[in-house]
Structure 1
Amino acid sequence: MRMGYVRVSSKDQNEQRQVNKMRQLGIEDRYIFVDKQSGKNFDRPQYQLMKQFVREGDLIYIDALDRLGRDYDGIIKEWKEITRDIGADIVVLENESLFDSRKFKSMGDMGKLMEDQFLSLLSYVAEQERKKIRQRQAEGIAQAKAKGKTLGRPKKELSTEQTALLKELYPLWKAKEITAVEFMKRLDVKKTRFYEIIKEYEKVR
């Protein structure tokens, strides 16, 4: 049986390019396993499901080694478990001339040695790339904060009605004629957003 494993790092990324490659190889959609998750570990639902299906003699295609994962030790462990313990094979389309476990198997013990060396090198590269991505993300967040940019979802602006209510109820709240809970309910906002609004309002009054 031939299977395809596809992975993108997040739900926002498009997996279609990889899926199309698998279809072009004649792999049925039901045997194309797609995860939208980081490659930092192998606790991915579709990957684990694929491993339940795979049997000796099966062939798994992946687009690139880093689609399998980005953890050095994990990549080597999973590769060996599939190709040596289970007895299936893996083909990495990006480096098909180097990474086709069937070729290494045909070379006997020398093939195992060569496979281990190539796998160690490319797994190391994949892990280093993951570390670079995390570093770039951290640097980007730090720069954004330094420039005073707010990260996350943009704050929802108050409606005209809410703004009018804020002006009307603020002095009553300050005079303790209404509670903060009542004030929040009238404005129809959560506690955290309520105090953000009050802070902003007091700055411009």
Structure 2
Amino acid sequence: MSEQVGYIRVSTAQQNTARQLDGVHLDTVFEEKTSAKTKDRPELQAAIRHCRKGDTLNVHSLDRVCRSGAGDAVSIVEELTSKGVSIVFHKEGLTFSGTMSAAQKGVLSILAAVAQMERELIKERQLEGIAAAKAAGKHMGRPKAAATPEQVRELRASGLSIAKTAEQLGISPATVKRLQKT
């Protein structure tokens, strides 16, 4: 009996996976929250190992699996299709099953290269934005703690716990610990 397998990936733990493969019937889903720039994607590897002849691996878009290089895309598709597994990239409307023709390999390589280029362009724009903000004198990163070491020491000396001191000063317990050491 063939199975509909889904692979869902987002880059960070804060991102939502709900839109990926929404409305697609899936028997088994493999989901991970990790950047595609790394090849260490255990859930992708588990999904590939899980698929058997006659199964279909459903992926929202090519960039969910192939952003680390065009060669990755072709090798993943070839690995799956050699096992008799179909792979569907829903956003691009691409389905691969059986042996890939030279034209299919070419199209897949081009699309994967475009996805990789897109990732690199996003990173370039991000770095340019950070550099421009710094040049304009904007503070980057977390805001500085509004509390002083003296305030922390005073509240702690009055018997307040770290948690209560943090709550009263509007800072985190970790910041309380750091400030009481200075």
Q: Give the TM-score band, short-chain normalised.
A: 0.7 to 0.9
> How do 1:1-205 and structure 2 match up within 5 A?
1-19=3-21, 21=22, 24-28=23-27, 31-71=28-68, 72-84=70-82, 86-96=83-93, 99-102=94-97, 105=98, 111-158=100-147, 162=151, 189-190=177-178, 194=182
Contact 1:91 1:101 in 2 (8 A): yes
State the distance in 2 between where 1:93 and 1:15 align.
15
Consecutive unaligned residues in structure 1, runs of 5 or more: 166-186, 195-205
Distance 1:42 1:163 in 2: 45
Structure with higher helix content = 1
The offset of 1:156, in angstroms, is 1.9
TM-score by length of 1: 0.67
- For the 8 Å contact 1:42–1:69, the answer to whether it is kept is no
Q: Distance in 2 between matches of 1:118 and 1:189?
A: 56
Structure 1 residue runs of 4+, over 6 Å off?
Answer: none
Secondary structure of the residue aligned to 1:18 is: coil
- Matched to 1:46, the amino acid is E
Kindly report the root-mean-square deviation, in angstroms, between the aligned alpha carbons of the 2 structures: 2.6
Larger Rg: 1
**Secondary structure at the counterpart of residue 38 of structure 1:** coil
For these two proteins, the number of residue pairs brought into alignment is 158
Q: What is the alpha-carbon distance in structure 2 between the residues aligned to residue 163 and residue 55 of structure 1?
A: 60
